Structure 1
Amino acid sequence: MNDRTETAAAEPGETVTIAGWAHEIRDLGGIAFLIVRDRTGKIQVKFEKDAMDDDLVETGTEVSRESVVSVTGAVEEEERAPTGVEVVPESVEVLAPAEPGLPLDPSEKVDAELPTRLDNRTLDLRRDEAKAIFEIRAEILRAAREAFRELGGTEITTPKIVATGTEGGTELFPITYFGREAFMNQSPQLFKQLMVGSGLERVFEIGPIFRAEEHNTPRHLNEATSIDFESAFIDHEEAMDACEHVVRSAYEAVAENCESQLETLGYEGFEAPEEAFPRLTYEEAIERINATGELDEQLEWGDDLPTEGERALGADVDGHYFITDWPSEIKPFYIMDHDDGELSTGFDMMAPSMELVSGGQREHRHDHLVEGFEQQGLDPEAFEYYTKMFKYGMPPHAGWAIGAERLVMTMLDLPNIREAVLFPRDRQRLSP
């Protein structure tokens, strides 16, 4: 429809053709209004019944809500209209009628539960609030890519079907691959490390990851989007610098470019973090969590941080922060240890409510890497495609990964991570 004008671009004095959905019909007796909605907003179409053809009035005022319509007419100024203008129609065409019994109400006059909304996601995204979340998500990913390029990164795409898992264990979805067993990849970790040993040196990827974890919580998914970064010739401290740059850039882009979406979601005074993210050691973190008194039992050295502990520390810090110098035994085999062997260079970056980022300096020495496999009960031979490249001059390197959905969730304070995914995949949901 090359002659179509989007509703936000309709100006008084023009004759336009607008096309969108029948959002609402208001019949006031001698006059009626059809509200047409498209991706740019809504516009009022006015029907003066006595002055217009009966068929035109009937088509425009008896159409079922959410039907797709095309309206051609003159745009006139009208202060009382929601957008200050209205269309006086010359013709109305119903392009695709909608059944009257809608499974949810896109006009948001009647609320729907999250399962109903996810079952009918196409309709759900006709709601302004749902649409705003994904417009903000798109801006976050755009800003992340730009920030990576500012850092000199090259975007890559790595396999999602693999012969072995990144971390091994039970968190793998097995598939049949031409008669052989294969798996959906948990992470691009091993592949992005191989790329820092190539001529690319500094790479990033934004793509899906798959984890067969049997969680059923508001913050876990079985298919997620991972924002990954890996660079040669940097250490864990410089990797944290890069991480902070990307996260801050995402916040700044949303603050600058998503004002209307934030307003739709009810956010006032949304601001990007200005202060540097504090860097707490693991030991400092458990001490501060214990000092809050929020846990029934005190944490001890070597404990992973429970959800309640993360929340207590997040409330105490009141902002994004890093946890560094984790015990070596907690972090994966590919994370390099400090010289004492007890502490790793691994780090997590936290939002006040949960973990967002996992990263660290990687083990680039072949013999130490193989030892790490063996210590975690993994067969190094199964990963030979990966380990053998460390024999041919693998530089020191570091990197990290952010869960995109968690970044959206924490930025917008969403109650459930599924709000930040078009079509979530969890233990119960495989369709749509």
Structure 2
Amino acid sequence: MKDIYVADVVGIEDGTEVELKGWVHKIYDLGKISFVKLRDKTGIIQIVIDESLNVKLRLEMCIEIKGKKVKNEKAPEGIEVQVEELNILGKTYYDKLPFAINAGKIKAGLETQLDHRTISLRAPKIAAVFSVQEKIAYAFKDYLRARKFTEVYTPKIIAAGTEGGSEMFTVDYFEHRAFLAQSPQFYKQMMVGSGFERIFEVGHAYRAELHNTYRHLNEYVSLDLEMAFIEDEFEIMDLEEGYINYLFKYLKIECERELKLYDIVLPEKVEIPRIPLAEAQGILLEVYGKRSSKADIDGEGEKLLCQYIKEKYNSDFVFLTKYPASKRPMYTMPDDKVAGTTKSFDLIYKGLEITTGGQRIHDYEKLIANIARMGFKTEEFEFYTENFRYGMPPHGGFAIGLERLTMKILGLENIREAALLPRDMKRMTP
């Protein structure tokens, strides 16, 4: 059992005996003594090994050391450990490492790094991505629990798609055809109606999209919530804006070291402009000569719009509202004040959509009519719509792509860098 971690040594009194376990990160062999960098999940510390210990170390060996903490201004953090005992816990059996992980930035291409993912994750800067990602999910849960949300766990093998069955992976489920869930949307609404009122989930989602770009994954983690007794979609946007502010404050405290590795300075306060889609399209055309489809703006448009928002509002975020009904799923609440639009929104962050959300239809007859209007068979969705017969409150919610949010916070170039073991059109291993 591990007694202390590298990060703990800083607070220990000089001269104290310590015991550490970790990996050999770097070796400086000076003959009679060697300076070795020992790495564990919390950081790197310099250890000093005398030749009398008679050990032959290699990079990435797992070792256990016992020794005294001493001051050394030339060492990282101004401390080191003078080793008195050393045991090799995990031998190495390679001829050559796939790439150097102790030189700061890995020089190998991303695909090579992903082929040897568990090796690349040993690099402190890459491991830092997932420390930040873990805290993003922690903050999501903490923020919502403080607001009386209940965490739920919904099935990922489902009988019908939440968006009509398009772009779904099929599964042979005994004698039936099933699908991998695109989202927990139906179940979120069902749980709201069952009496939980406010629920959230952090879970995997699957999209069989034929995209192989820097921003797409076929398996990703979704931060979902649904909330009952709302007035309108703006209440949901208020909730998400509150989460973003809570998150940034949380990361500044919990991930100070990781943010420094990426030279990231998070803003003190986030205020997110809210712009109807049609107005955003007009801005793109007037300012940048960029034409958009009636139903949406494309990836280039998202980047240009965020450039405009940054210059005018000094914000990296923008809510796009009032999406047309033709662009939204069958459960989306129409906006009677603006014909043909819905009470829905996307959140764009630094030129990338990270959230889709809005108010849902809660009236049974209106929902059935909308399902039929969009060309779906209402009987296929009875497991979902049945709940709406018995008093469904006004409700809404949103979903954040965890990898996309991580990618944008840290300024990563490719979403695969923010996926622990990414799954895309061409990758199913490791």
Q: When the two structures are superposed, what TM-score results if normalisation uses the length of structure 1?
A: 0.93
Contact 1:228 1:400 in 2 (8 A): yes
What is the Cα deviation at residue 90 of structure 1? Answer: 2.2
Distance in 2 (CA, whole Å) between partners of 1:106 and 1:13 is: 31
Q: Within 5 A, what are the aligned runs for 1:354-365?
A: 354-365=352-363
Deviations for 1:93-143, whole angstroms, at most 9, x for unmatched residues?
111112241112220365121111112221111111111111111111111
CA pair 18-177 structure 1, distance change in 2 beyond 3 A: same
Q: Is the 8 A contact 1:317 1:352 kept in 2?
A: no
* Partner deviation per Cα, 1:295-346 (whole Å, 9 max, x = no partner): 3xx235x232111111111100012111111222221110011225422111
State the partner residue of 1:376.
Answer: 374
Between the aligned partners of 1:219 and 1:81, the Cα distance in structure 2 is: 40
Secondary structure, aligned partner of 1:199: helix
Q: Equivalent residue for 2:192?
A: 196
Q: Secondary structure at the match of 1:74?
A: strand
Aligned with 1:283 (options 278, 300, 322)? 278
- Contact (CA 8 Å) 2:160, 2:179: kept in 1 or not? yes
The list of structure 1 runs, each at least 4 consecutive aligned residues, that deviate by more than 3 angstroms after superposition, is none
Letter in 2 for 1:279: R
Mapped to 2, the partners of 1:270 and 1:276 lie a distance apart of 13
SS of 2:77 mapped into structure 1: coil
Instruction: Select 1:176's aligned residue among 172, 176, 186.
Output: 172
| Cα distance between partner residues in 2 of 1:20 and 1:275 | 39
Instruction: Give the alignment partner of residue 301 of structure 2, picking from 290, 298, 309.
Output: 309
Alignment of 1:135-174 (within 5 A): 135-174=131-170
Conservation of the 8 A alpha-carbon contact between 1:320 and 1:351: yes
Unaligned runs of 5+ in 2: 311-315
Counterpart secondary structure, 1:198? helix
For residues 96-107 of structure 1, the aligned pairs below 5 Å read 96-98=90-92, 99-107=94-102
Q: What SS does structure 2 have at the residue aligned with 1:197?
A: helix
SS in 2 for 1:309: helix
Residue of 14, 17, 23 corresponding to 1:15: 17
Residue number in structure 1 paired with 2:313: none
Partners of 2:228 and 2:396 within 8 A in 1: yes
Q: Retained in 1: the 8 A contact 2:43–2:124?
A: no
Counterpart position of 1:108: 103
Residues 45, 86 of structure 1: 8 Å contact kept? yes
State the alpha-carbon separation in 2 of the partners of residues 292 and 256 from structure 1.
39
Distance 2:277 2:95 in 1: 57
Deviates more, 1:29-38 or 1:321-330: 29-38
Q: Which residue of 2 aligns with 1:74?
A: 68
Aligned to 1:207: 203
AA matched with 2:218 = N
| Cα distance in 2 for residues equivalent to 1:32 and 1:250 | 43
Q: 1:173 to 1:271 in 2, by over 3 A?
A: same
- Aligned counterpart in structure 1 of residue 218 of structure 2, from 217, 222, 230: 222
Q: Match of 1:92?
A: 86
Q: Distance in 1 between matches of 2:33 and 2:289?
A: 62
8 Å contact 2:295–2:324 — kept in the other structure? no
SS in 2 for 1:83: helix
- Among 292, 301, 305, the residue aligned to 1:299: 292
Aligned to 2:384: 386
- Structure 2: distance between partners of 1:47 and 1:197: 64
Quick one: which amino acid aligns to residue 321 of structure 2? T
**CA distance in structure 1 between the partners assigned to 2:153 and 2:49 by the alignment:** 53
Number of the residue aligned with 1:65? 59
Residue 248 of structure 1 aligns with an amino acid whose one-letter code is N
Aligned-residue identity in percent: 39
Kindly provide the CA deviation profile for residues 361-400 of structure 1, in whole angstroms up to 9, marking residues without a partner as x.
Answer: 1111112211222222221111100111111111111111
| Gaps in structure 1 of 5+ consecutive residues | none
Aligned AA (2:322): D
In 1, Cα distance between equivalents of 2:399 and 2:420: 21
- Conserved 8 A contact 1:25-1:35: yes
Alignment match of 1:262 (pick from 256, 259, 262): 259
| Residue 231 of structure 1, CA deviation | 1.0
Match of 1:349 in 2: 347
Task: Give the RMSD, CA atoms, in angstroms.
Answer: 1.6
- Equivalent-residue separation in structure 2 for 1:251 and 1:44 (angstroms): 32
**Contact 1:140–1:251 under 8 Å retained in 2:** no
Written as runs of structure 1 = structure 2, the 5 A alignment for 1:239-250 is 239-250=236-247
Partners of 1:185 and 1:209 within 8 A in 2: yes
Check 1:294–1:431 CA distance in 2 against 1; reply closer, same or farther (3 A cut): farther
CA distance in 2, matches of 1:231, 1:393: 15
Q: Aligned with 2:196: secondary structure?
A: coil
Cα deviation for residue 209 of structure 1 reads: 0.5
Matched position secondary structure for 1:357: strand
Asked if the contact 2:50–2:83 (Cα under 8 Å) also holds between the matched residues in 1, the reply is no
Partner of 1:120: 116
- Aligned residue for 2:416, secondary structure, equals helix
State the secondary structure of the residue aligned to 2:75: coil
